[in-house]
Structure 1
């Protein structure tokens, strides 16, 4: 009997502490929302994504739920959520980086290095200079294989430093095998994959072209055993 009474008292105490803690935490509201690290998304846009504002409970929704809401936005690569009992909700944002502009049917789209379409940039780019490499006439929504291969090629040339900051870079092609890189209007037909081997051969051939002072229409790197150089006729 005594043991049962002690057990009942223990359960009642535990339940009381749990309920009291719930009421205390539930009563803590958000007094201030701080967003850190955003460059492309405005504070207003991030607040809209969060779906919470000052006066809401700081406990609910959970940090996991807030994180999942943020991650649904292509611009946000990662985020850290911090809740302080003084009522401050701090959101640390890590945004992705746009690496190219897709030009398709009169529309302009910003894309990142993972081939994610970040936003329709058409209205913002009017009367502005093109400031990134261009992926031209490749549909990122329908021709996904070619589009991903174009982004892979762009990532490769960026990583290897194959182009200068002021070079005009355009990538186009109907399919992965016809993928063509234009550097300052000069076409290099690259095709799909094996970029390391292909561009190793390109540097050798291009050095010889420069040495001889040749004028060529294009260079084709798609063949495993040779490089095709089309001279100007």
Structure 2
């Protein structure tokens, strides 16, 4: 019989043998030098190729067979062809490849009459300049007179020789534009809407108006060309208000000198105030 009281003897653990360290590989300086040399040579080759290409470009640009022979300018209303070419700073005989189209366009666009410009180059010797000029819609009196274009932008102070036969807007100041540019922009665009309404009419027309005045509190007032009578319009609803005025305007014309104002800023009536 087995002696159940006899304890099992644990096997004696044997000492593990330590692995010898791996030998270190020597640094291959020659391989590192070869790789570095390849990188340096590649960079030098790219630089040399760029330099040679640039010099070849300059050489070709100076050759006589790629010279500017013709400058074409689109039809103009305000500016002359000579003015546009002078702004472009180019002349016949210039090297075609040396023309900087973007720079030429930027120079032309500095003129306030220019709304948009496109400059194109056509080999062997043609440069085309397409210009879109600004169209004045009104004159804004802010102490100085400024042209207002059809996008609601003030683009040019009037100088000697500029035309004055446009509707005149008053009531907006340079301080208003500086302090509230978005509000002033909205006012100018509303002015354009009012001018468009007056231009489209055959009864009470734009020619019957001498001035458009804006007041922040009240809105718009137009002054008649005959007698300078103020016609109060307020804000918005111009088409309906002008239609009501047109129904009585011809009858009022003989009395214009005796009128103080006409108030249209009501939905159901017109107030005619005699002086």
1:37 aligns with 2:70: no
1:116 aligns with 2:153: yes
**CA separation of 1:100 and 1:221: change in aligned 2, threshold 3 A:** same
1:218 aligns with 2:261: yes
Structure 1 unaligned residues grouped into runs of 5+: 1-14
Q: Residue 260 of structure 2 contacts residue 273 of structure 2 at CA under 8 Å; is this kept in 1?
A: yes
> Counterpart in 1 of 2:11?
none
1:133 aligns with 2:171: no
**CA separation of 1:227 and 1:198: change in aligned 2, threshold 3 A:** farther
**CA separation of 1:64 and 1:228: change in aligned 2, threshold 3 A:** same
> Counterpart in 2 of 1:51?
89
Q: Bigger relative contact order, structure 1 or 2, given CA contacts below 8 A and separation 6+?
A: 1
Kindly report which structure 2 residues correspond to 1:104-183, keeping only aligned pairs within 5 A, or say none.
104-105=142-143, 107-124=144-161, 130-139=164-173, 141-144=174-177, 145=184, 146-160=187-201, 164=205, 166-175=207-216, 177-183=218-224
Which segments of structure 1 move beyond 6 Å, counting only runs of 4 or more?
Answer: 18-22, 211-214
TM-score (norm: length of structure 1): 0.68
> Counterpart in 2 of 1:4?
none
Structure 2 unaligned residues grouped into runs of 5+: 1-48, 178-183
| 1:186 equivalent among 229, 250, 255 | 229
1:39-88 Cα deviation digits (max 9, x unpaired): 21233432343233334333344434433443443322233333232422
Deviation of 1:171 after TM superposition, in Å, equals 0.9
**CA separation of 1:58 and 1:74: change in aligned 2, threshold 3 A:** same
**Any idea what SS the aligned residue of 2:108 has?**
helix
Distance 2:116 2:196 in 1: 20
1:106-164 Cα deviation digits (max 9, x unpaired): x3332211222333224225xx8x4221123533x433414443334223423456654
Distance 2:79 2:136 in 1: 13
Aligned residue pairs total 213
**Any idea what SS the aligned residue of 1:172 has?**
strand
Instruction: Give the aligned CA root-mean-square deviation in angstroms.
Output: 3.9
Deviation of 1:198 after TM superposition, in Å, equals 3.3
TM-score (norm: length of structure 2): 0.59
> Who wins on radius of gyration, i.e. which is larger?
2
> Counterpart in 2 of 1:90?
128
**Any idea what SS the aligned residue of 1:102 has?**
strand
